């Protein structure tokens, strides 16, 4: 029998779709599932693709069916199950065989697994896969972290199954150990921010301007024809247009206002804090999802506190305000992406990955959830300014912020005065105002710390600091 080019373990929805994608692109793939019946069911359902699929009943048969050095994709629940699967495979592996975790893993687990296999013969790839079920089946965005040699072994297969943008595959090797999964984590953090900002704009249109779901759908559909063109804006318009088959009402009006989360957004915030990089828009989005889950508490709080005692939103020029909303969303989106890329730049330095920022923007242009026209502009900005410390100081994005700044201020102030929550939009504005201000207010914080903790301080005039009356030993500074 001709051996498979790659193997895949775990035939759930994502694993099945990825295996079918691999087979459809002309690659022979061996498949194994803990439940043997599922393996045979999958094979029968594969239809015309069966010639490129090798169903295996045992793990030993599975490993033997793959051409050495054997790349094995693990598509099972993240965490301990991956470690258990690795332990089962380990005695069967040979030198240069490759275990590939393609789930939503914490990049620190990926680094641990990579190090555990280092110098033992086999190696490890942490592979971020974005695009959900549809992407897995027809072309995801793929972020690879591992040795360059292991990447070269799987490059042909992964390139064939990745999404395409103007003929370019949306897949790249980004560095060793946890690089791929870290980039996927930040991708998801940006996704959280993007979705939250859209939700806040939707809230202004719904509760501020009292527009119907259908009317709001038309607004987003119109925006999708311009600079906000993206998958998220597109599906927002479609969701707002859809009707509930039971009640006939707009589907969004019957969906509970509680958003779930899988943890990757939280990880992105934690790692930003660990690296000392502000990611306030992402943090606000993660917090907003947390508050959304507190439905019972929110309803009880409204009974006690009521809604803010403010006048109804007053907009003299409705069309102009909707244009402001479009520009404000663009501005806030810039903030979220700037923060995400800044976190990745810091991680690249910390873990010595040398993450290629233009390449990351390129492979997010198709296949993934945050795919958008906007990423073309980010690619160009980082290509022209590879040493830029922040996206917002590149000439193109500085010009965009100058154009959208006033609109973001008007939208945030109007929403706040109208009692409408806009945590992510407001956080983006606060980030811009803090980042662009050469002299801030942290001098008073440092003076307080010095007073309580006997710390020296940096002087504006560059002279040596001295304690004088400071440092009285009243306590350790925060």
Question: How much is the pLDDT for 237?
Answer: 98
The residues annotated with a catalytic role in the active site are 184, 191
Question: How much is the pLDDT for 260?
Answer: 78
Helix or strand holding residue 345 (H, E): helix 318-351
Tens-place pLDDT, residues 297-323: 999 999 999 998 888 787 889 999 999
Answer whether 73's CB lies under 8 Å from 8's CB: yes
**Strand, coil or helix: what is 401?**
helix
Q: In angstroms, rounded to a whole number, what is the distance separating the alpha carbons of residues 86 and 229?
A: 42
Question: Could you say which DSSP state residue 463 is in?
Answer: P
Mode of pairing for the β-strands spanning 141-145 and 171-175: parallel
Tens-place pLDDT, residues 38-89: 999 999 999 999 999 999 999 999 999 999 999 999 999 888 999 999 999 9
- Average pLDDT of the chain? 93
Question: How much is the pLDDT for 474?
Answer: 41
pLDDT at 11 over 50: yes
Q: In angstroms, rounded to a whole number, what is the distance separating the alpha carbons of residues 87 and 72?
A: 13
pLDDT at 408 over 60: yes
Tens-place pLDDT, residues 142-167: 999 999 999 999 999 999 999 999 99
Question: How much is the pLDDT for 450?
Answer: 80
Average pLDDT, integer, range 258-276: 90
What number of other Cβ atoms are within 10 A of residue 93's Cβ? 21
Question: How much is the pLDDT for 473?
Answer: 41
Question: How much is the pLDDT for 472?
Answer: 42
Q: In angstroms, rounded to a whole number, what is the distance separating the alpha carbons of residues 147 and 173?
A: 9
Mode of pairing for the β-strands spanning 164-165 and 71-74: unpaired
Tell me the DSSP string of 159-173: HHHS-EETTEESEEE
Q: Which residue has the higher pLDDT, 260 or 195?
A: 195
Average pLDDT, integer, range 268-280: 97
Q: In angstroms, rounded to a whole number, what is the distance separating the alpha carbons of residues 28 and 49?
A: 10
pLDDT at 288 over 50: yes
Question: How much is the pLDDT for 455?
Answer: 56
Question: How much is the pLDDT for 315?
Answer: 83
pLDDT at 471 over 50: no
Answer whether 145's CB lies under 8 Å from 126's CB: yes
H helices of 204-230, where?
213-223
Tens-place pLDDT, residues 176-233: 999 999 999 999 999 999 999 999 999 999 999 999 999 999 999 999 999 999 999 9
pLDDT at 119 over 80: yes
Q: In angstroms, rounded to a whole number, what is the distance separating the alpha carbons of residues 208 and 189?
A: 28
Write out the two tokens for 150: 């292991």
Answer whether 103's CB lies under 8 Å from 74's CB: yes
pLDDT at 263 over 80: no
Q: In angstroms, rounded to a whole number, what is the distance separating the alpha carbons of residues 254 and 244?
A: 7
Q: What is the percentage of the chain residues whose pLDDT exceeds 90?
A: 85
Question: Could you say which DSSP state residue 208 is in?
Answer: I
Q: What is the percentage of the chain residues whose pLDDT exceeds 70?
A: 94
Tell me the DSSP string of 25-74: TT--EEEE-SSHHHHHHHHHHTGGGGGGEEE-SSHHHHHHTBPSS-EEEE
pLDDT at 464 over 50: yes
Question: How much is the pLDDT for 469?
Answer: 52
């Amino acid at each position: 029998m001709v051996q498979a080019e790659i193997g895949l373990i775990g035939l759930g929805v994502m694993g099945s779709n990825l295996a079918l994608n691999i087979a459809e692109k002309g690659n022979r793939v061996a498949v194994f599932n803990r439940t043997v019946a599922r393996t045979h069911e999958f094979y029968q359902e594969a239809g015309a693709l069966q010639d490129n699929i090798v169903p295996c009943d045992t793990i030993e048969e599975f490993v033997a069916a793959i051409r050495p050095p054997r790349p094995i994709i693990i598509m099972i629940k993240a965490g301990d199950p991956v470690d258990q699967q690795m332990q089962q495979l380990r005695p069967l592996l040979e030198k240069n065989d490759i275990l590939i975790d393609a789930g939503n893993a914490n990049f620190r687990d990926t680094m641990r697994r990579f190090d555990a296999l280092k110098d033992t013969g086999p190696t490890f790839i942490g592979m971020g896969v974005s695009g959900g079920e549809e992407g897995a089946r027809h072309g995801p965005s793929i972020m690879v972290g591992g040795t360059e040699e292991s990447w070269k072994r799987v490059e042909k297969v992964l390139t064939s199954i990745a999404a395409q943008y103007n003929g370019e595959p949306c897949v790249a090797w980004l560095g060793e150990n946890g690089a791929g999964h870290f980039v996927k984590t930040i991708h998801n953090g940006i996704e959280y921010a993007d979705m939250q900002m859209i939700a806040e704009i939707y809230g202004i249109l719904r509760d501020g301007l009292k527009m119907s779901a259908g009317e709001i759908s038309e607004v987003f559909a119109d925006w999708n024809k311009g600079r906000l063109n993206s998958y998220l804006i597109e599906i927002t318009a479609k969701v707002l247009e859809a009707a509930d088959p039971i009640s006939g009402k707009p589907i969004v009006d019957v969906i509970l206002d509680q958003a779930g989360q899988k943890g990757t957004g939280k990880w992105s915030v934690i790692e930003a804090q660990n690296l000392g990089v502000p990611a306030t828009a992402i943090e606000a989005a993660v917090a907003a999802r947390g508050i959304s889950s507190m439905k019972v508490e929110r309803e009880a709080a409204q009974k006690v506190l009521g809604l803010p005692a403010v006048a109804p939103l007053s907009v003299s020029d409705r069309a102009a305000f909707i244009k402001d909303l479009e520009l404000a969303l663009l501005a806030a989106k810039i903030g979220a992406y700037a923060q995400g890329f800044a976190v990745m730049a810091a991680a690249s330095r910390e873990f010595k990955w040398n993450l290629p920022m233009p390449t990351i923007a390129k492979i997010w242009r198709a296949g993934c959830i945050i795919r958008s026209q906007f990423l073309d502009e980010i690619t160009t900005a980082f290509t022209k300014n590879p040493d830029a410390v922040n996206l917002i100081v590149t000439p193109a994005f500085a010009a965009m912020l100058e154009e959208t700044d006033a609109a973001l201020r008007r939208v945030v102030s109007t929403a706040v005065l109208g009692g409408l929550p806009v945590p992510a939009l407001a956080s983006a504005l606060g980030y811009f105002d803090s980042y662009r201000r050469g002299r801030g207010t942290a001098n008073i914080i440092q003076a307080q710390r010095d007073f309580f903790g006997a710390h020296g301080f940096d002087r504006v005039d560059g002279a040596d600091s001295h304690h004088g009356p400071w440092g009285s030993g009243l306590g350790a500074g925060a």
